[in-house]
Amino acid sequence: MSALPAPDRFSGFPRALICGSFTLPLRRPLIMGIVNVTPDSFSDGGRFLDPGRAIEQANRLVEEGADILDIGGESTRPGADPVPVEEELARVLPVLRAVRDLPLPVSVDTLKPEVMRVVLAEGASMINDVSALRARGALDAVQGSRCGLCLMHMQGEPRTMQAAPHYGNVVAEVRAFLAQRIAACEAAGIARERLVIDPGFGFGKSGRHNLTLLRGLQALRELGVPVLAGLSRKSTLGTITGRGSEDRLAASLAAALLAVERGASIVRVHDVAATRDVLLILRAVNGDNDPQP
């Protein structure tokens, strides 16, 4: 087992993210490509429910330049109903098994400890949990592995979260929640170098809350853990542009770019190729001459 990467000598910020057997350098922004194996995801529901189509999509995203794949078997769109464990595993496992030997970490988007245990045993390198490991048994399920962990903020739960989201100071409250979840992970013996935090755009937030969080992203980065931003095709972008979820590419690219400029280390996106090009331009303008991925 390799040693943990040393944090940057000057900023104390981690230089790399541990994700199972992978150590992902954080010197350039990383792209997490979304594979939704669901009938009801908000922008691509049903397109990749068939395992063959989901596997094709996963391979396409890797060719397009994804650094991490994120496979989800349960939609968390507003109003979505929970899916039983067996059903979620039946959706996720065929795809995980088909891509787990590719040379990149595979994340599974789940909030169920039972699913976490099975997918980690089956070769997942990361758990992306929209409830930040708050379910009973979730910390135990991931503690003994070296998997990466994405801790996301959500107010309420998917079925009802958009009914009346309310905050006094959304940035301060999301930051305090994430700081508390980082502390809970560390208290459970989980190394900080395995953690990623995420404000959870659209999860119990109005459009105004989402924009305030995007403006204030730097305040989350100050927690000393890489920030992931998931704005791809989200409804706030539709409200601003007046466009449906399949027609939000330009808005999603702008949002990804703005998130990285404000400190995001990872962007979670549906459209990997276009996002890669945008981030390459940003890096070139910033004079970042690191070798291409």
- Cα angle: 57, vertex 268, 69; to 5 degrees: 40
The stretch near ligand HH2 (CB under 6 A) out of 40-48, 90-98, 167-175, 279-287 is: 40-48
Instruction: Please confirm, yes or no, whether 268 is among the known catalytic residues.
Output: yes
Q: Which of residues 181-210 bind ligand HH2 (CB under 6 A)?
A: 198, 200-201
Among 41, 125, 145, 210, interactor with ligand HH2 by CB under 6 A:
41
Among 34, 55, 126, 141, interactor with ligand HH2 by CB under 6 A:
34
Count of chain residues binding ligand HH2 (CB under 6 A): 21
Q: Under a CB-based contact definition with an 8 Å cutoff, are residues 207 and 234 in contact? A: no
| Identified catalytic residue from 28, 233, 268, 276 | 268
Residue 109 binds to ligand HH2 (criterion: CB under 6 A): yes
CB of 101 to ligand HH2, least distance (A): 24
| Cα–Cα distance measured from residue 218 to residue 232, given in angstroms and rounded to the nearest whole number | 19
- For 152, what's the count of Cα atoms within 13 Å in the CB-facing half-sphere? 25
Burial classification of residue 4, based on how many CB atoms lie within 10 Å of its CB (0-12 exposed, 13-18 middle, 19 or more buried): middle
The count of other CB atoms within 10 Å of the CB of residue 44 is: 17
DSSP 111-172: --HHHHHHHHHTT--EEEETTTT-STTHHHHHHTS--EEEEE--SS-TTTTTSS---SSHHH
CB of 41 to ligand HH2, least distance (A): 3
| Identified catalytic residue from 28, 77, 175, 234 | 234
The stretch near ligand HH2 (CB under 6 A) out of 61-69, 72-80, 110-118, 278-286 is: 72-80
When computed from its CA atoms, the radius of gyration of the chain, rounded to whole angstroms, is 17
Instruction: Please confirm, yes or no, whether 234 is among the known catalytic residues.
Output: yes
Residue 22 binds to ligand HH2 (criterion: CB under 6 A): no
Q: Contact residues for ligand HH2 (CB under 6 A)? A: 34, 36, 38, 41-43, 72, 75-77, 109, 128, 130, 150, 152, 198, 200-201, 228, 230, 268
